[in-house]
Amino acid sequence: MSASTVSTADLPHDSIQPQAIALVFAFPAAATAALALRIYSRALTRTFGSDDWVILFAGVLYWAETFTSYKVIKLQFIGFHVWDIPVGTDTAPGWKYAYATELLYNPILALVKTSILLFLLRLALQKSAVQKSIWALMIFNGIMMVVTFFLTVFHCIPIPSNWDAAAYPNAKCLNFADFVTGTACVAILTDVLVLILPTWIVYNLHIQWKQKLMVIGILSFGLVTVVAGIVRVILLDRYDRHLPPDFSYSLLFCISTIEVGLSFVAACAPALKPIVVRIAPKLLGTTSRSRDNKYLKGGTPQASRLGYRLDNLSRNTRQATNVTQIESTEGEDKLSLENNSEHRMKDGIVMTTETQVMWHTSSQPAKNGTSMESLV
């Protein structure tokens, strides 16, 4: 439908731009709230780490993307009907901000994934196979981040043609629909690979399946990001290949910021367990006493205070030896008896029992911050 063939008086003139602006700010606000709770949880347990620094930096970039997205909505009249866009509007400023938004989008998601991988690395330091897989995935994720960034930078050559196509009629550009779909599919692939890791980490835990599934569920909030990414690529591919006549009257532009916001919430959710345990200990099957032991004592190992101590629950050999030592108060003789649980008191003899527990869990020595004994 065109304003040249149909009187604009007979066409609708409503706008959904306020809804677009609300969406663009609502999800960064939700992500910021999740980040704030994550930082509070880390302060509570004194476990602030590299994964937190990475996701905080991603949060700063997310707000930068929010600003550029807002400018795109205003300058490109997102949410208006095409016949309500003023004639002769200079579109170059809007396309400049759209270009900046594209440059920020993929690095933000890649950094969020890096934060998730660093967090999982803190949980699996005594599982060498998982470690190697995490490092390999981090390297692959980093390479794809750099490659995608430069593909976006040089999407059109010369670069100014990205926002002023009319001034560069001979510019060479990649097919936009193919570019968006291709980069999105790579991002979804890495999301799926990240999603598999929690199942691998907890597979050998010596706990009930109900608890095991709960652990996997807590660590697999990234499924939300995978679903959002799939929905985004389907909708955008259809939109880019079959541009509707009233193309500006749509909220589809906001779907990217929705996906990014959900990725922040999903990445922060597993780190919030210490807060949940303090507020509602029974919700995760944790008593107030075990809560205090795990999260409040200064001598508790770092990863224990993270709330995800799993390695000592793995299906490996465990050995316990009871040793009873008898000391005579009248002489220097000592006698040690193994597996003797009886305690007797006689004149002149003091009997004490020592218990020695030997854990055969890994060929690697334990390190601070790597213990993962209990998730529930």
pLDDT given for residue 351 in this prediction? 55
Local structure of residue 86 (DSSP, 8 states): P
In which element (H, E) is residue 353 found? strand 349-359
SS3 assignment, position 325:
strand
pLDDT given for residue 138 in this prediction? 93
Percent of the chain whose predicted confidence (pLDDT) is above 70: 68
Angle between helix 50-75 and helix 92-123 axes, rounded to 10 deg: 160
Nearest to 291 by CA among 349, 174, 173, 374: 374
Structure tokens at 233: 């690529």
Task: Answer for the pair 94, 75: CB distance below 8 angstroms, yes or no.
Answer: yes
For residue 37, the one-letter residue type is L
| Single pTM value for the model | 0.74
- Residue 193: pLDDT band (50, 70, 90) is confident
Residue 372 phi, psi (nearest 5): -140, 55
Residue 318 phi, psi (nearest 5): -130, 140
Give the separation between CA 39 and CA 49, rounded to whole angstroms.
Answer: 10
CATH fold for domain 12-284: Rhopdopsin 7-helix transmembrane proteins (1.20.1070)
pLDDT given for residue 279 in this prediction? 81
Listed in order, strand segments (DSSP E) in 42-136 are: none
SS3 assignment, position 352:
strand
Listed in order, strand segments (DSSP E) in the chain are: 156-157, 172-173, 318-328, 334-338, 349-359
Q: What is the pLDDT of residues 87-113, one digit of tens each?
A: 888 889 999 999 999 999 999 999 999
Angle between helix 17-45 and helix 50-75 axes, rounded to 10 deg: 170
Q: What is the pLDDT of residues 225-256, one digit of tens each?
A: 888 889 999 998 888 888 889 889 999 999 99
pLDDT given for residue 308 in this prediction? 52
Residue 4 phi, psi (nearest 5): -75, -25
Q: In which residue ranges of the chain is CATH 1.20.1070.10 found?
A: 12-284
pLDDT given for residue 316 in this prediction? 45
